[in-house]
Structure 1
């Protein structure tokens, strides 16, 4: 009986899924924005597809993600269970805020997604298309107010590049930065600003209901499911793609980094994650390892050049 009982215990143990370590994810922005959506989609996919037993998400908003980044880097050093979402916006915010904590102070794991920035106006706006927006911008640059995410991020860069492309001094852009997509959306819907710029998934519901009018998308190809031209098709010769990434804590071992990377790769290949990409209009730009490290360095250099060009960094 003892042998049979032992065999049953072994069989039972083998039947229980071997979960990876529990994870805590910092979304360094207020609820409702792209980083919050990314972190909570990661939470859903990691648990639903049996990669982790328990995943918690915490919002730490402010300063384009640099407040959350600083908290993460100082409080989670050596913690292989801690992750933080970041991306293009954070790269710009680090530069514009001259943040003492940078992505060099954490352990980048993978680039996850790319997304078009949507250029929208309230449904009742007299601006019907990009031509109408450009006309107002040329007439009075400061009179056109733009709502978007943190200063120096993809939204701000998009506004500056649009101005530059149509012959308007980008330093004259009247950009109002919000700490989260929910706050920016409220300002646009409340007619507190002329135009909104943010990841297109953050506007999708309101575009569908007609509360917002989508004038154009920032990428060099159209976004499936949205009836809008690219900026280039609308006569504005520029293109921007917002990308998002995940990083681990500083001070972890190579083995811990490899385990985390394997978990994130499984997540990125899961059915739950792929369904979220399709429903949110996110593009799969997954990249990890040395290739991601090299790409991140190149993106930081390119972002610094753009920010200098539009007057946001000296």
Structure 2
């Protein structure tokens, strides 16, 4: 089984934004004669450590919400741990709480399944899928491995001799390593995968020579690759990515190994429908802004925007697909 590239889509939102002292009026309607107004304070929970993909996505949303006038005081708070499920367990019980968003994504979907948590993404309200990002494998600049075939040949010969740093157990990084292992005839469980709570820690481990390779999203390693500090071994796209050099693309190994991580914004359950629509509309406007388009390009993120009910429907399908992958890799507990 594999995770394929997700299709980009958007949902039209029909509710106006509300005015100043709260994000909605007491009866849930828009103030000031329906004139669109920015959101007030929004707290965005980044469910991983600073420097991680979730942290980067959350702060990118924060910056564009503020600079574009979509929200007056967006803030980011890091709550790392267990593939985002620590943050999920904190946010999910806050039913009906306004002005609270949480970054989510493939890693949280897999984290729920991998960790067997009682709370799931069904305990949140899907707002929008924001972007997709290719996975990349890197090695220290003086590494003897010049191809992913050579890397996995060494793993097959002596799994413990090759440590690979990545995100939390069961994360998108872990899933992709498992898929590559299966492709090269290695039992996924035999891979010496070293999980970290964020991409910043994984990067430090690779740069410091504590591991023989690292895997993460493209944006987390691209600067070090460009500066020659790390060697780009593989990118999970079928085509080369602009501005960052890799020894191989997925197509050089097997086009079926094309893979994208994705990240989204969600909110607690129990919100008034008008508030939910307001949040979806804000994210839709943000996605359409030039500032967000520039952010996508800067970070080499793919515009896979999907919002509201369409995102919620896709999310259920994605959960089923990810569970199938984790079952096959022997990682599913839920």
Aligned length: 300
Q: Please, what is the CA RMSD of the aligned residues?
A: 1.7
C-alpha displacement of 1:77 = 2.1
Segment of structure 1 superposing worse, 93-102 or 133-142: 133-142
Match of 1:208 in 2: 226
C-alpha displacement of 1:135 = 1.9
Query: Partners of 1:226 and 1:279 in 2: how far apart?
Result: 12
Counterpart pick for 2:214 among 196, 202, 205? 196
1:162-311 equivalences under 5 Å are 162-228=180-246, 229-234=248-253, 238-311=257-330
1:138-177 equivalences under 5 Å are 138-177=156-195
Q: Check whether the contact 2:52–2:200 (CA below 8 A) recurs between aligned residues.
A: yes
Match of 2:71 in 1: 52
Q: Check whether the contact 2:226–2:245 (CA below 8 A) recurs between aligned residues.
A: no
Query: What are the superposed Cα offsets for residues 138-186 of structure 1, whole Å, 9 maximum, x if unpaired?
Result: 2122322110001111100011111100111112111111011111111
Query: Partners of 1:304 and 1:235 in 2: how far apart?
Result: 23
Segment of structure 1 superposing worse, 234-243 or 198-207: 234-243
C-alpha displacement of 1:239 = 2.4
Q: Check whether the contact 1:121–1:213 (CA below 8 A) recurs between aligned residues.
A: yes
Indicate yes or no: 2:107 matched with 1:64: no
Match of 2:145 in 1: 127
Query: Partners of 2:258 and 2:175 in 1: how far apart?
Result: 10
Q: Check whether the contact 1:112–1:243 (CA below 8 A) recurs between aligned residues.
A: yes
Match of 1:10 in 2: none
The SS at the match of 1:176 is: strand
Match of 2:108 in 1: 90
C-alpha displacement of 1:250 = 1.4
Query: Partners of 1:19 and 1:245 in 2: how far apart?
Result: 20
Q: Check whether the contact 1:165–1:236 (CA below 8 A) recurs between aligned residues.
A: no
C-alpha displacement of 1:234 = 3.3
Structure 2: stretches of 5+ with no match in the other structure = 1-31
Query: Partners of 1:239 and 1:177 in 2: how far apart?
Result: 22
Q: Check whether the contact 1:165–1:237 (CA below 8 A) recurs between aligned residues.
A: no
Q: Which runs of 4 or more aligned residues in structure 1 lie more than 6 Å from their structure 2 counterparts after TM superposition?
A: none
C-alpha displacement of 1:232 = 3.0
Q: Check whether the contact 1:114–1:242 (CA below 8 A) recurs between aligned residues.
A: yes
Query: Partners of 1:68 and 1:296 in 2: how far apart?
Result: 19
TM-score of the aligned structures, taking structure 2 as reference length: 0.86
Structure 1: stretches of 5+ with no match in the other structure = 1-12
Segment of structure 1 superposing worse, 94-103 or 133-142: 133-142
Indicate yes or no: 2:134 matched with 1:116: yes
Query: Partners of 1:101 and 1:279 in 2: how far apart?
Result: 34
Q: Check whether the contact 1:162–1:236 (CA below 8 A) recurs between aligned residues.
A: no
C-alpha displacement of 1:308 = 1.0
Q: Check whether the contact 1:200–1:281 (CA below 8 A) recurs between aligned residues.
A: yes
Q: Higher Cα Rg: structure 1 or 2?
A: 1
Query: Partners of 1:271 and 1:236 in 2: how far apart?
Result: 32
TM-score of the aligned structures, taking structure 1 as reference length: 0.92
Query: What are the superposed Cα offsets for residues 10-32 of structure 1, whole Å, 9 maximum, x if unpaired?
Result: xxx99x99322321100010000
Query: Partners of 2:82 and 2:149 in 1: how far apart?
Result: 32
